[in-house]
Amino acid sequence: MVLAELGQRVTQALASLSAAPVIDEAVLDACLKEIAAALLQADVNVRLVASLRNNVKKRVNVSELGRGLSKQRIIEKAVFDELCSMIEGGQAAQQEFKKGRTNIVMFVGLQGAGKTTTCTKYAHYYKRKGFKPAMVCADTFRAGAFDQLKQNATKAQIPFYGSYTETDPAVIAQQGVERFKQEKRDLIIVDTSGRHKQEESLFEEMRQVAAAVQPDHVIFVMDGSIGQAAFDQAKAFHDSVDVGQVIITKLDGHAKGGGALSAVAATQSPITFIGTGEHMHEFEHFEAKKFVGRLLGKGDWGGFIDKVKDAIPEEDQQQELIEKISKGEFTLRIMYEQFQNIMKMGPMSQVMSMIPGFSNAIMQPGSEKESQAKLKRFMTIMDSMTAKELDSSSTKIFSEPSRILRWARGSGSSVIDVQLMLEEYKRLAKVFSTAMKGMKIPKNLKGDMNPRNMQANIAQMSKMLPPHMLKMMGGPGAIQNLMKQMEGKF
Ligand SMILES: Nc1nc2c(ncn2[C@@H]2O[C@H](COP(=O)(O)OP(=O)(O)OP(=O)(O)O)[C@@H](O)[C@H]2O)c(=O)[nH]1
C-alpha cells in the first residue's frame, strides 16, 4: 500500500464518524481500529501504532464532548496531531545552517538507500539558497562510488573531492574537509559507504570517519520502501553515530512509507527532506504538518504556491512573455522555456496533491512519466536548433526537409519525433493566440489578482488543456471545484 492509499484509508475512517448517528465509544474504537490497520499495513511499527491509538483515546473523552460536528473535528484534530508527532520524532526540525562558517554534514545509511544521489540533491538545494557547498566521497567500499559522485557533482556544478588510490575513508574524508575549509566552503557534505547493521567492521569505519571530520550533523538516509526492518537498522546507526536528521528517499515509487515513521522513532530525529525521484529537483523540504495534511487530502496551499513561484519566471519576464504571446509571437524558444518551467514544477500529481481536495489518486502517475519523457525528447530536439530558428515564429521553415533532417540527426531523434514536436508547437501557438484574446491581463502582475479575473482566466485555461490532461485532473468538475477553492485565496 503506498502512502496515498494510507491517506485515503485514514481519511475514510475519519469520514465514517460523520456517517454515524451518534459518536460514542464504540464508533471511536471502530474508527481507530481502521486507522491502526491502515498504518500497520503501511509498515508502521506496531508499537507506534499502539501508542497513537492510546494517545488519541486519552485525548478524546467521547462522553464529555459536545454533539455532532465538533466531536468529529476534535477526533480528527487528535489523529492529525498524533500523526504529526509520530513523524516529528518528538523533536523540532533541525536548525538552519549559518552562512559564513563551515558546516559539516555526514551522510550515512544502508547500501543503495540513495545517499550519493541525496548528497547532490542536498548540495544543490543549499546552493540555491546561497550557500557554497562541496562534496567529499568517503566511500572506498563500492567500486565506482567516486565516479558516481563526481558525475553528479559535475552536473550540479558543485566542487568535489575523492581519491582512486587512498583506501582509508577516514583519511580521504579528513583531507577533503581540510581542503574545502581552506577554500572557505560553508557546507561540506561527506558521503560514506553503505552498510548493514550486521557489518560491525563497517560500523567501526563509520565511527572513524565521524571522528575524523567531527560533523555538525549526521543524516541517516533511508529508502522509503524498507518496511518493518527500518526500526532496527535505523537504531543501529543511531547507536553508533549521533544521527540528528532523517531523509527518506524513493517516496515516488511503491514505497509504503510507513517504515519512515519507524526510523524516526528509532533515531528520535526528525525527517528533514524527502526524495521523490532520481532527478535533482525531486527533493522536498519536509514539514510534518504539511505532509500529514497532504496525506489526509487537506492540501498544502503554501507548498503549492512555492512550487508555482519557483517555476514562474521573474515578474518582468512574465509581463514581456504575455505581451509577446498576445502579439502572436509564440516562438519555439517560448515553448522551450515553458517546458522548462513545467519540468521545474515536477510531476503533475505531486503538484496537484498540494491543492486541497485533489488527492494523488486523481492523477495517474504512469501517464505523467510518459508526458515528462516526451517533453524532454522535444527539448533535446530544440537544443539542436540555431538561435534564429528558435526565435522564429514563421511556420514556413518547419516544412523544409533539410532542416528537419538536421534537427533529427543533431538530437539523435527520428524524423517522426521532430514532426511530432512541430505539431505540438503549432497546436500550442494556436491555443495561445486564441486563449489570449479572451484573457484579462492585469497591467501590472504584481497588482491585485482580482478573483473574478482569476476565475475567468482559469476557465479559459481549462479550455486550453489537452483532453487527456483534463481527464487526469479529474475532469471539468474538478477544475470547477478548484476554482471554488481558489475563491478567497487570492
Ligand atoms: N525513484 C527514486 N530513485 C532514487 C531516489 N534516490 C535515489 N534513487 C536511486 O536509487 C539508486 C541508488 O542510489 P545511490 O545514490 O547510488 O545510493 P547509495 O546509498 O549512495 O548507494 P551505496 O553507496 O551503494 O550505499 C540509484 O539508482 C538512484 O538513482 C528517489 O528519491 N527516487
Go through the domains of the chain in sequence order and give each one's CATH number.
Answer: 3-88 (1.20.120.140), 103-290 (3.40.50.300), 301-486 (1.10.260.30)
Structure confidence at residue 490 as a pLDDT band (50, 70, 90): very low
Question: For residue 112, how far is its CA from the centre of ligand 1 (angstroms)?
Answer: 5
Report the residue among 110, 116, 146, 226 best suited for mutation to probe ligand 1: largest number of ligand atoms under 8 A from its CB.
Answer: 116
Of 1 and 427, more confident: 427
Q: Is the CB of 112 under 6 A from ligand 1?
A: yes
Question: For residue 204, how far is its CA from the centre of ligand 1 (angstroms)?
Answer: 23
Indicate which residue's Cα is closest to atom 1 of ligand 1. Answer: 277
Given a contact cutoff of 8 angstroms between Cβ atoms, the answer to whether 86 and 264 are in contact is yes
Q: What's the ipTM?
A: 0.97
Residue 33 has pLDDT above 60, yes or no: yes
Residue 176 has pLDDT above 90, yes or no: yes
Best mean pLDDT range from 224-228, 299-303, 342-346, 397-401: 397-401
**What pLDDT score was predicted for residue 358?**
47
**What pLDDT score was predicted for residue 444?**
43
Structure confidence at residue 483 as a pLDDT band (50, 70, 90): low
Question: For residue 116, how far is its CA from the centre of ligand 1 (angstroms)?
Answer: 7
Report the C-alpha gap between 125 and 122 in whole angstroms. 5
Question: For residue 277, how far is its CA from the centre of ligand 1 (angstroms)?
Answer: 9
Average pLDDT over residues 16-32: 87
Average pLDDT over residues 337-349: 67
According to DSSP, the residues that pair with 192 across neighbouring strands are 138
Please state the φ and ψ torsions of residue 118, each to the nearest 5 degrees.
-70, -35
Q: What are the helix and strand counts (H, E) for the chain?
A: 22, 8
Query: How would you class 455 by CB atoms within 10 Å of its CB: exposed for 0-12, middle for 13-18, buried for 19 or more?
Result: middle
**What pLDDT score was predicted for residue 442?**
47
pLDDT cut 90: percent of the chain above it: 24
Among the residue ranges 138-147, 243-252, 343-352, the one predicted with the least confidence is 343-352
Residue 213 has pLDDT above 90, yes or no: yes
**What pLDDT score was predicted for residue 296?**
72
Structure confidence at residue 308 as a pLDDT band (50, 70, 90): low
Report the residue among 115, 116, 117, 273 best suited for mutation to probe ligand 1: largest number of ligand atoms under 8 A from its CB.
Answer: 117
Residue 120 has pLDDT above 60, yes or no: yes
Among the residue ranges 99-108, 226-235, 295-304, the one predicted with the least confidence is 295-304
How does the average pLDDT of the chain come out, rounded? Answer: 77
**What pLDDT score was predicted for residue 319?**
62
Which three cell numbers, joined as nine digits, stand for 299?
492540501
**171-178 LR contacts (CB < 8 Å, sep 24+):** 171/212, 172/136, 172/137, 172/138, 172/140, 173/136, 173/138, 173/209, 173/212, 173/213, 174/212, 174/213, 176/134, 176/136, 176/137, 176/138, 177/104, 177/136, 177/212, 177/213
Please tell me the pTM assigned to this model: 0.62
